[in-house]
Chain A
Amino acid sequence: MIQGVQLDLISEERLARLTSMEKIRLILDEVMAGNIVVLEKGLSPEESSRLIEMTMMEISPDGFAGIEMETYPARSQGGGILSRLFGNKESPSRLTVIGPANQLKMLRKERDLISAWVSSR
């Protein structure tokens, strides 16, 4: 049998149909199964926060060691007078790749380039 890694690219439209918890569960289930997930549109800050928490709950000795996740830095926001008065608005999230921490390694990351290496289990 050919050895390989499953790669799931999830469209923005499909993500938009999911609730936050469904998104997080989908990501964790895929990654815990050893798959790499690429989201066309990344998670919101609130979803990222929940993902970190839920990832911590799933970590086990000699089992799941957590996730490696990469996305581009947010584009800088101009912001008008109102947004400056009332604080920063949420930045649009961008293409994001997520995989098991022991299989996905970042090689190089810049503002506009992510280079990663994936190994099979």
Chain B
Amino acid sequence: MDILTKARKRLSRFLRVFFKKKRSRIGIYGPPNAGKTTLANRIVRDWTGDALGPVSEIPHETRRARRKEDVTISNGDGDSIVIDIVDTPGVTTKIDYHEFTEYGIEKEDAVKRAREATEGVAEAMHWLREDIDGVIYMLDATLDPFAQVNIMMVGIIESRNLPVVIVANKIDLPDASPARIKSAFPQHPVIAISGLEGKNVDELYNKMIEFFG
């Protein structure tokens, strides 16, 4: 971390204390099926013993933003942060109910799921515009990071000057390539993890303390 970044963080911390700013709300964003809820559950379980929401292989399982308040994350050096974790619906520019019928869901339920998913995406965008102070941007490390939705979302996050940590998830899978994600977003820290197995999440917690504290 360079001197300017440190100075900016100190200034922001001072202003937060001085003006008694509310707790930071950290949104977990990313495309559908990147592992957002799996990570949210792991963070909440590791630090509060609770859980946030169900996970599924079917896209758009999370169709409403869910928030867990007062999550304290600490490390061995005595540093800690208190944040609200917000698990958000996967962001996309297209939703077709036929995608859900391919998983064996009946048409009526698939149409309902698609409608709820569209509302969820709009809700996630609204949260980002109004109520989020920092972002964990989740990517499936087995997929192409240059997908348009990722380019757009990182651009939107940057334009709002929100601190962002990019997570290359699913490194337990053989096709995972965190290096591809690092080359796609060299301007941001990228942490490679397996949210499912918990591999390397301690490094993510340290980065969260450093970036969101």
Contacts and interface: CB of A to CB of B under 8 A. Distances in A.
Given A52-B121, A84-B4, A91-B158, A66 B94 contact: yes
A13 to B, nearest CB: 23
B94 A71 contact: no
Contact of A48 (B4, B121, B155): B155
Please report whether the interface of chain B is mostly helix, strand, loop or mixed according to DSSP. helix
Interface residues of A, number: 37
Main secondary structure of the interface of A (DSSP, over half): mixed
A20 interface: no
B107 to A, nearest CB: 9
B88 to A, nearest CB: 13
Given A68-B93, A84-B4, A91-B155, A49 B125 contact: yes
Interface of A: 44-46, 48-49, 51-53, 55-57, 59, 61, 65-71, 73-74, 76, 81, 84-88, 90-91, 101-102, 106, 109-111
Interface of B: 4-5, 7-8, 91-97, 111, 114-115, 118-119, 121-122, 125-126, 128-129, 144, 146, 148, 151-152, 155-156, 158-161, 184, 186-187
17 contacts: A45-B152, A53-B125, A53-B126, A57-B118, A59-B114, A66-B92, A67-B93, A69-B93, A69-B152, A73-B146, A73-B184, A76-B187, A86-B161, A88-B158, A88-B159, A101-B96, A106-B148
Given A56-B121, A85-B8, 17 more contacts: A45-B155, A48-B155, A51-B93, A52-B91, A52-B152, A53-B121, A53-B126, A57-B122, A61-B114, A66-B96, A69-B93, A70-B148, A73-B184, A76-B187, A85-B4, A88-B187, A90-B158
